[in-house]
Amino acid sequence: IMSIFGEVPLAAPVAVFKLTADFREDQNPSKVNLGVGAYRTDEGQPWVLPVVRKVEKMIADDHSLNHEYLPILGLPEFRSSASQIALGEDSPAIKDNRVGAVQCLGGTGALKIGAEFLRRWYNGTDNTKTPIYVSAPTWENHNAVFSNAGFEDIRPYKYWDAGKRGLDLEGFLSDLESAPDHSIFVLHACAHNPTGTDPTQDQWKQISDVMKRKSLFAFFDSAYQGFASGNLDKDAWAVRYFVSQGFELFCAQSFSKNFGLYNERVGNLTVVAKDQDNLNRVLSQMEKIVRITWSNPPSQGARLVAITLNTPELFAEWKDNVKTMADRVLLMRAQLKEKLKALGTPGTWEHITEQIGMFSFTGLNPKQVEYLVKEKHIYLMASGRINMCGLTTKNIDYVAESIHEAVTTV
Partner 1 sequence: MNSEFRERQPIGVKNLSKHGHTTWLPPVRKIKQQISTDPTLTPEYTHILGIPEFTRRATQLALGKDSPAIVESRVFGIQTVGCTGAVRLGAELLRSCYCSSSSWTHVFISLSFLEDSLAGTFKAAGIEDVQYYRYWDAESNGVCVENMLYDLENAPEQCVVVLFASGHRPTGAELSQEDWKRVAEVMKRQLFAFFLMSAQGLCSGSLEQDAWPVRHCVSLGLELLCAQSFSHNFGLYGERVGHLLCVLKQNLLAVQSQAEKLVQTLWSCPPMEGARVVATVLSNPAHLESVKAIAERCMLIRERLRERLRLLGGPWQWDHIIKPGGLYCCFGLNTQQVDFLVQKKHIYLLPNGCLNVSAINSRNLDYVAESIHQALSSKR
Q: Which residues are catalytic?
A: 139, 221, 257
Nearest to partner 1 of 67, 374 (CB atom): 67
Three-state secondary structure call for residue 273:
coil
Give least dist CB 77 to partner 1, A: 14
Residues of the chain by 3-state class (helix, strand, coil), percent to 5: 45, 15, 40
Which residues contribute to the site for partner 1 (CB under 8 A)?
1-14, 17, 36, 38, 45-48, 52, 56-57, 59-61, 66-70, 105-109, 112, 116, 141, 144-145, 147-150, 256, 260-265, 288-289, 291-301
Cα–Cα distance measured from residue 109 to residue 99, given in angstroms and rounded to the nearest whole number: 19
Q: Which CA distances in Å does 307 have to 68, 304, 387?
A: 18, 5, 30
Three-state secondary structure call for residue 269:
strand
CB-based contacts of 385, cutoff 8 Å, min separation 6 = 194, 195, 359, 360, 361, 362
Angular region, 156: left φ>0, alpha ψ -120 to 50, beta rest = beta
Burial class (CB in 10 A: 0-12, 13-18, 19+), 362: buried
Cα–Cα distance measured from residue 342 to residue 399, given in angstroms and rounded to the nearest whole number: 14
Cα–Cα distance measured from residue 288 to residue 312, given in angstroms and rounded to the nearest whole number: 35
Give least dist CB 39 to partner 1, A: 9
Give least dist CB 54 to partner 1, A: 10
Nearest to partner 1 of 260, 390 (CB atom): 260
Nearest to partner 1 of 324, 335 (CB atom): 324
Q: Which CA distances in Å does 366 have to 359, 373, 384?
A: 17, 10, 7
Give least dist CB 176 to partner 1, A: 26
Give least dist CB 2 to partner 1, A: 7
Give least dist CB 102 to partner 1, A: 13
For residue 352, which of 344, 342, 340 has the smallest C-alpha distance? Answer: 340
Cα–Cα distance measured from residue 194 to residue 360, given in angstroms and rounded to the nearest whole number: 7
Nearest to partner 1 of 235, 264 (CB atom): 264
Nearest to partner 1 of 103, 355 (CB atom): 103
Per the CB < 8 A criterion, the answer to whether 383 and 38 are in contact is no
Nearest to partner 1 of 4, 27 (CB atom): 4
